[in-house]
Amino acid sequence: MTHRRFALLLAVLLFTLASGGCTRYVKTSQGRKAIEKTQRQLQKADATMTADAREKALILLTLRRDGADLGKAPYVGLAQQIAALATIRKDLKPIATAVNQLAGAYKRTVFKSKKVRSTEKKKWDAIQRIRNQMMAQGRAAKGVVQRYQSASKNVAKTAKRHQIGKVQTGPIRKKLRKFLNRIGPQLQDARQKVAKSEALLQGSLSQWSAEKLRTKQTILNQMKTQLNQIEAASGRMRTGQQTFNKLAGNQKTVWTGPGTQTFAMLKRLEADGKHVKKAAATLRKLEVQLRKR
C-alpha cells in the first residue's frame, strides 16, 4: 500500500511593493494571480486527498469480499486510520470557503483598478488585511496537507507491517497452473502405483503367510493415505484456482491480507507443494517395500 504525495500550499498574496517617491503601490493583477493559484492548489489538494481516501476505503471492501473479518485485528486499527483520513480531508473545506470569500473581497476592493496606491488608505488597508488573512489560510492549508500526508503514511506502514498489500494476479495464476500441471502426473502415477500394489496383494494371497499379508496390507493402507493427501492437495488447489479467478476477474492486481481466501491460498500453495513432493516420495518407497518378497 502506497501513499500519495501532495503539493504543499504556499501560494498566497505576495505583492510587489513599487516605490514612486513617498507613495507605494501594488499591481492588482499580481493579487488576482496569487489568489487564483491558491484556489487551484486547494482544489488539487482536495481532489488528491479525496481520491486517496476513496482508494483506501475501497481496499477494505475488497478485503472483506475476499473473506477478511474487518471486526478483528489488524483490520480494526487499519479501518480507524482510514476513517481518520476522511476527517482530516474535511478540514480543508472551510479553508477553501474562506479563500473564496477573500477572493470576492479582493475583487470588490480593487474593482477595475490596475494599481492601488498607499495614499488610497481605505483600499490599501483592505488589501493588507486580505493579504494577511490569505497568509493565515495558506498556513492552515499547509498544516492540513501535512497532517493528511502523515496519516496516509501511517496507513501504508500499518498495512505493510501486517502483510496487507496489492499482489499481481498474473504470477498467481501462473503459479496455480504450474502447480496443477505438475500435480496432475504425480496424482496419476500415485493412483497407478496404488492400483498395481493392490492387484499384487490380491494375487499373492495364497503365496504369503497371514502375518506377511497383514504387513503388506498395512503398507498398502499407508500408500492409500499418501494418495489421499495428494488428491486432497489437488482438490484444494483446484477450488482455490476457481475462487481466485472468480474474485480477481480480469483485474491485474488484487488486495490481500491475513484472513482472506487469497492470502490463505498462497500460504497453502507453498505448503501443499512441499507436502505433495514428500507424499509422492513416501509412496514410491512404500511401493518398493510392498513388492519385496
Q: Express as a percent the part of the chain with pLDDT over 90.
A: 56
Q: What is the pLDDT of residues 261-288, one digit of tens each?
A: 888 888 888 888 888 889 999 999 999 9
The 10 Å Cβ neighbour count of residue 167 is 15
pLDDT of residue 293: 66
The whole-model pTM stands at: 0.72
- Each domain of the chain, given as residue ranges in start order, spans 18-162, 167-291
pLDDT of residue 237: 87
The DSSP code for 256 is E
**What is the tens place of the pLDDT at every residue in 124-180?**
999 989 989 999 998 999 999 999 999 999 999 999 999 999 899 999 999 889 988
Whole-Å CA distances, 83 to 23, 56, 78, 95, 107 = 53, 9, 9, 21, 38
- Which residue type, as a one-letter code, is found at position 19? S
- What average pLDDT does the segment 214-218 reach? 91
Torsion, Cα of 244, 245, 247, 251 (10° steps): 120
For residue 145, the surrounding DSSP H or E stretch is: helix 121-161
Nearest of 78, 64, 54 to residue 256 by alpha carbon = 64
